[in-house]
Amino acid sequence: MTQPRTRLIIVGAGEAGRTLVRQIRAESLPVEPVAYLDDDPALQGQHIEGLPVVGDTSRLVEAA
């Protein structure tokens, strides 16, 4: 039986955050990245690696 995957919000949509998402997917880890938070206004509202950048880090509780 497959265990449910924990949904994950990535803080930082820069290269490190993108690399983390790619690594999670490549290794089939038991987590599911669902969105990014990033303080760069130019990234907010964008989709990176197929995931939305839903706002800045002040929205962590709301996004969760």
Confidence band for 63, pLDDT divided at 50, 70 and 90: confident
Confidence band for 62, pLDDT divided at 50, 70 and 90: confident
Residue that the structure tokens 């987590």 belong to:
31
- pLDDT of 6-55, one tens digit each? 999 999 999 999 999 999 999 988 999 999 999 999 999 999 999 999 99
Output the pTM of the full model: 0.88
pLDDT of residue 3: 73
CA dihedral 13, 15, 17, 21 (to 10 degrees): 110
Looking only at the bridges linking them, the beta strands covering 51-52 and 47-48 are antiparallel
